[in-house]
Chains A and B, each alone.
Chain A
Amino acid sequence: MQHVEISTTRANPLVDPVLQVWGWEIPVYLFLGGLVAGLLALSGFYLLRSRTASERGAWPQAPMLGVVLLTLGMGALFLDLDHPWYVWRVYLTFEPASPMSWGSWILILVYPALFAAALLHPPERVPFGAGLLAVIRRGSEWMWARPRLVQAIALSNLVGGIALGLYTGILLGTMVARPLWNSAILGPLFLFSGLSSAAALMHVLTLVRTHGLVDSTYADLLLHGLFQLLKPPGRDPSTAGEAMVRADAAFLSVEGALIALFVIGLAASTEVQQQALQLLLTGAYAPVFWCLILGTGILVPLVLQSLELAGRIRHTVVPALLVIAGAFLLRWVLVQAGQVSSWT
């Protein structure tokens, strides 16, 4: 290898000695965006597949939770901006070559879809009194009386969720100057990471809400519609909880496979991509990548879920919490390590 020594007089903040333009805000935004994408896609899919009233009411909190989480994520994004009071400029144009422009418009379009889905499941109480609740309930009944409208809402949630999940990865993937991000796998990887963390989040909330922190039966039919597709023909899952764990395990397995493809793709690419990959495999980010993302973020939850399904251990929130933490760390490490990677 040729010896090269470079010295420069440039010392621009955030750029030198290595790029550090994005701090905690962007990983938080990408994580929450992915989580909401998963909630949207799963609740939309579930709504499309539901046939009975009990099935329809099985996941009522997901849309409003999505609104809250997405707003928090956009708040983090706003905090990252250095010229924040010009943010309205994003919505005066559409730049087809810019994933960030696509994402901005997707975020805006996702809100009405989330609110419409939330309106389908009116809460038992609202902060502003019974009058408002009556109006919401009337709106909800009006919507339920129109099956095609409900179907359109479900479809918009499903499509919006997939678009949002993919965009968060593509946003990074199109940055030519960052070799670690030069992979089309990032889009589907972030989508499946969002799906697994959304399923895990709903799993946690259901356990806390209905049975305390541990339960062996899972009364709630969170992902029943999805499991109807996933279950083997002629075999009925013994409990909805068991099927839910199967779905989460399926998402995690796909996520693990996509990470493997991501690594293989970079390892088989040019020298700069190979060097960038070493940041994750053997460099400063390796302990977090191997131990907390692949280990406790994917493999350990998969093993725990398998033992739960086999009836060897009790169902707990532990795998779900590990999945959520792993999904956050995946964004954190990829954003930070990707900025460090460069062509020079």
Chain B
Amino acid sequence: MPRLAMVIDTRRCVGCGDCVVACKVENDVPLGHDRDWIVEEIRGRCPGPTLEIRSERCHHCADPPCVYCCPTGASHIHDYGGVVLVTASKCIGCKACLAACPYGARFIHPDGYADKCTFCLHRVEKGLDPACVAVCPTHCMTFGDLDDPLGPVRRLLDSRPHHALLPEAGTEPCIFYLT
């Protein structure tokens, strides 16, 4: 069984927002809500500050606090790829998962249930990339099996310096940023 992950090259990402638009179109994300978003982080002061542009979304953590806190099992780890999903018909809208997520990756859908990135599992199961990956004009995003030693994700992580966000939270995120 694959362990799905995403690698994002921050040296290629220009923050154009195509990934955000593609996600909204593909997943019919309600107006005023975001399943993915762009972050610009400036570190240090002139003359030597560094800028990192990141496309962010749910990190599909291997140790997801949003799943553990869910009282109904609506938040769960899908059998295929370890993707973290929400079953809308089981969600009571208690918002515990929103409070438990250190990345702020979830929101309440206007219909009342918790919503988030699904890694476009409906596309992935057909052998396609997630919509955000497929439309990226700079090809800064790579999607695949983290456990495949010969796959593109593992090869990038083995060959380039990278970091995950908030590893100190202990959630084992599956989104990695090349630096």
A271–B49 CA distance with the chains assembled, in angstroms? 23
**With a CB–CB cut-off of 8 A, which chain B residues contact A11?**
32, 34
B65 CB within 8 Å of chain A: yes
Find B104's partner among A7, A19, A270 (CB 8 Å cutoff): A19
Closest Cβ–Cβ distance, residue A27 to chain B (whole Å): 14
A253 CB within 8 Å of chain B: no
What per-residue 1/0 map shows which CB atoms of A10-35 lie under 8 Å from chain B?
11111110010110000000000000
B60 CB within 8 Å of chain A: no
A246–B38 CA distance with the chains assembled, in angstroms? 58
Can you give 5 A-B contacts (C-beta < 8 A)? A4-B41, A22-B95, A82-B108, A92-B72, A98-B96
B80 CB within 8 Å of chain A: no
Find A100's partner among B42, B71, B171 (CB 8 Å cutoff): B71
Nearest 9 A/B pairs, CB to CB: A82-B93, A83-B93, A10-B37, A83-B112, A177-B102, A100-B71, A12-B107, A21-B95, A101-B71
A95 touching B71, Cβ below 8 Å: yes
A8 touching B38, Cβ below 8 Å: yes
B107 touching A14, Cβ below 8 Å: yes
A9–B41 CA distance with the chains assembled, in angstroms? 12
A56 CB within 8 Å of chain B: no
**With a CB–CB cut-off of 8 A, which chain B residues contact A6?**
39-42
User: What is the size category of the interface that chain A forms with chain B?
Assistant: 35 or more
B135 CB within 8 Å of chain A: no
B102 touching A343, Cβ below 8 Å: yes
Residues 89-124 of A contacting B (Cβ, < 8 Å): 89-90, 92-93, 95, 97-101, 103-104
**With a CB–CB cut-off of 8 A, which chain A residues contact B44?**
2-3
A81 CB within 8 Å of chain B: yes
Chain B residue at minimum C-beta to C-beta distance from A272 = B168
A98 touching B71, Cβ below 8 Å: yes
A310–B93 CA distance with the chains assembled, in angstroms? 52
Question: Which one of B72, B100, B171 has the highest number of Cβ atoms from chain A below 10 Å of its Cβ?
Answer: B72
A174 CB within 8 Å of chain B: yes
B90 touching A84, Cβ below 8 Å: no
**With a CB–CB cut-off of 8 A, which chain A residues contact B141?**
none
A193–B33 CA distance with the chains assembled, in angstroms? 39
Find A98's partner among B39, B70, B107 (CB 8 Å cutoff): B70
A158–B35 CA distance with the chains assembled, in angstroms? 46
A174 touching B113, Cβ below 8 Å: no
* Interface SS of chain B: loop
**With a CB–CB cut-off of 8 A, which chain A residues contact B104?**
10, 12, 15-16, 19, 342
**With a CB–CB cut-off of 8 A, which chain B residues contact A344?**
102, 166
A174 touching B166, Cβ below 8 Å: no
B40 touching A100, Cβ below 8 Å: no
B99 touching A4, Cβ below 8 Å: no
Find B70's partner among A4, A15, A95 (CB 8 Å cutoff): A95
If A14-B95, A177-B100, A177-B169 touch, whether A9 touches B34 (CB-CB below 8 Å) is yes
If A3-B43, A7-B39 touch, whether A177 touches B71 (CB-CB below 8 Å) is no
Closest Cβ–Cβ distance, residue A258 to chain B (whole Å): 22
Chain A residue at minimum C-beta to C-beta distance from B88 = A83
What per-residue 1/0 map shows which CB atoms of B62-82 lie under 8 Å from chain A?
000100111111100000000
B45 CB within 8 Å of chain A: yes
A344–B95 CA distance with the chains assembled, in angstroms? 20
B71 touching A104, Cβ below 8 Å: yes
A19 touching B98, Cβ below 8 Å: yes
A83–B71 CA distance with the chains assembled, in angstroms? 13
**With a CB–CB cut-off of 8 A, which chain A residues contact B38?**
8-9
**With a CB–CB cut-off of 8 A, which chain A residues contact B171?**
176
B2 CB within 8 Å of chain A: no
Residues 101-129 of B contacting A (Cβ, < 8 Å): 101-104, 106-108, 111-113
**With a CB–CB cut-off of 8 A, which chain B residues contact A342?**
102, 104
If A95-B71, A177-B169 touch, whether A9 touches B17 (CB-CB below 8 Å) is yes
B25 CB within 8 Å of chain A: no
A12–B99 CA distance with the chains assembled, in angstroms? 13
B69 touching A174, Cβ below 8 Å: yes
What per-residue 1/0 map shows which CB atoms of B144-179 lie under 8 Å from chain A?
000000000000000000000010111100000000
Chain A residue at minimum C-beta to C-beta distance from B108 = A82
A2–B101 CA distance with the chains assembled, in angstroms? 25
**With a CB–CB cut-off of 8 A, which chain A residues contact B42?**
3-6
Closest Cβ–Cβ distance, residue B47 to chain A (whole Å): 13
A98 touching B37, Cβ below 8 Å: no
Closest Cβ–Cβ distance, residue B116 to chain A (whole Å): 10
Closest Cβ–Cβ distance, residue B172 to chain A (whole Å): 12
